[in-house]
């Protein structure tokens, strides 16, 4: 069923999980559903050192078959009987009916003998697939690569677990944290490589948010574009936060994702509204007022800090005062990733609360 090369043998379950993770990564990072991959291993016979892969699949987006169902269909298309197989899945099979039926029941109906999954499903509605399988006599085992599986579904996992979108705050500053010069000029602090990376990130999120102040001052389109200026296939929801109206000539009324204007300054209301719209990953791009409000409310989960090797010494900063008066009161973040982008640098930092994640981060 896929367009990727089909493996014929794997040595063990960890290798099958690696393959399932590679398949899962083919699915879209955006959207209401998680990226999941599944590999079906033929029944193990005494003395076997390799188990044949008889089917594999991944989830291609909302409304399409889930990974387990795709793998079962792939097995049958190859002329293989899935009875007695081991399903190696990156995420616990779901146990609810949405646009598609429950994967746990599909595996039962197909006669799968064992399930190994890397990550538990935290959803109140979608979770429980492992218990359903066990209740019907199918052993379910925790699998390897939990951190890698979480890395593929981090925003979805967070949104399902907490009831609000995963929030990434984008900052583009000079070395001394300035976002514009004293005269207001700000284009461009970072170079084309950093801007291209930022557009690639836009193409993976569900929504982008700015304030009405930023929308009125900069007239952004808030589209995701390739380096040659072409709009990408996926365009995130464009969210404007604030009470002032936007002119009908605004670029936000032009081609791109749907425009949602939330006439509020309450960031909790913003996230509640976006959650009802199944937004899993929100990118906050501007301005300082929205960044500050999100940080003050402890609602930022990740920061993408694009830093240009430039000094201004004065001018507006990326974040307004947070009310922190002593160093010990400052929140500490974990540096997750550092990358050079042309002359600029990207630092990705995440909150230090990892109580819901595996011991090793992806």
What is the pTM (predicted TM-score) of this model? 0.90
What is residue 127's predicted lDDT score, i.e. its pLDDT? 83
Say whether 16 sits in a helix, a strand or coil.
helix
What is residue 237's predicted lDDT score, i.e. its pLDDT? 98
Q: What is the pLDDT of residues 318-350, one digit of tens each?
A: 999 999 999 999 988 999 999 999 999 999 999
As annotated, the active-site residues are 68
**Please, what are the domains in the chain?**
9-152 (3.40.140.10), 161-351 (3.40.430.10)
Looking at residues 279-289, what average pLDDT do you find? 93
Asked if the model's pLDDT at residue 1 lies above 60, the reply is no
Looking at residues 222-250, what average pLDDT do you find? 95
Q: Which helix (H) or strand (E) holds 57?
A: strand 51-58
Residue 247, token pair as written in the block = 């002119």
**Nearest by Cα to 285 from 351, 193, 190, 362:** 190
| CB contact burial 36-53 (16+ within 10 A = b; e otherwise) | bbbbbbbeeeeeeeebeb
Asked if 299 and 259 touch (Cβ cutoff 8 Å), the reply is no
What integer best gives the mean pLDDT of the chain?
91
Q: What is the pLDDT of residues 251-261, one digit of tens each?
A: 999 999 999 99
Residue 3's pLDDT band (cuts 50, 70, 90): very low
Q: For residue 37, list its beta bridge partners.
A: 58
Q: Which of 30-44, 98-112, 149-163, 263-277 has the lowest mean pLDDT?
A: 98-112
């Amino acid at each position: 069923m896929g367009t990727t090369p089909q493996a014929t043998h794997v040595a063990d379950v960890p290798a099958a999980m690696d393959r399932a993770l590679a398949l899962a990564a083919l699915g879209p990072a955006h959207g209401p559903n998680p990226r999941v991959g599944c590999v079906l291993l033929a029944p193990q016979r005494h003395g076997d050192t390799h188990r044949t892969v008889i089917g594999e699949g991944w989830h291609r987006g909302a409304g399409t078959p889930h990974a387990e169902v795709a793998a079962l269909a792939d097995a049958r298309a190859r002329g293989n009987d899935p009875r007695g197989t081991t399903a190696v899945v990156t995420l616990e099979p779901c146990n609810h009916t949405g646009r598609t039926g429950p994967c746990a029941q599909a595996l039962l109906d197909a006669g799968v003998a064992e399930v190994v999954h890397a990550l538990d499903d935290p959803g109140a509605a979608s979770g429980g697939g492992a218990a359903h399988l066990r209740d019907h006599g199918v052993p379910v085992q925790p699998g390897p690569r939990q951190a890698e599986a979480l890395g593929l579904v981090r925003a979805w996992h967070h949104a399902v677990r907490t009831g609000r979108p995963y929030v990434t705050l984008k900052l583009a500053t000079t070395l001394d944290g300035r976002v514009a010069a004293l005269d207001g000029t700000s284009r461009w602090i970072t170079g084309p490589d950093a801007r291209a990376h930022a557009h690639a990130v836009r193409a993976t999120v569900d929504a982008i948010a700015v304030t009405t102040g930023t929308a009125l001052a900069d007239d952004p389109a808030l589209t995701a574009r390739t380096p040659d200026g072409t709009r990408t296939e996926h365009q995130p929801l464009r969210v404007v936060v604030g009470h002032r109206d936007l002119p009908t000539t605004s670029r936000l009324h032009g081609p791109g994702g749907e425009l949602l204007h939330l006439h509020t300054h309450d960031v909790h209301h913003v996230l509640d509204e976006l959650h009802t719209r199944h937004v899993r990953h929100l990118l906050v791009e501007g301005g300082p007022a929205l960044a500050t409000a999100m940080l003050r409310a402890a609602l930022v989960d990740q920061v993408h800090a694009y830093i240009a090797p430039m000094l201004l010494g004065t001018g507006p900063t990326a974040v307004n005062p947070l009310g922190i008066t002593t160093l010990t009161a400052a929140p500490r973040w974990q540096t997750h990733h550092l990358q050079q982008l042309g002359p600029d640098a990207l630092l990705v930092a995440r909150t230090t609360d990892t109580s819901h994640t595996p011991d090793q981060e992806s």
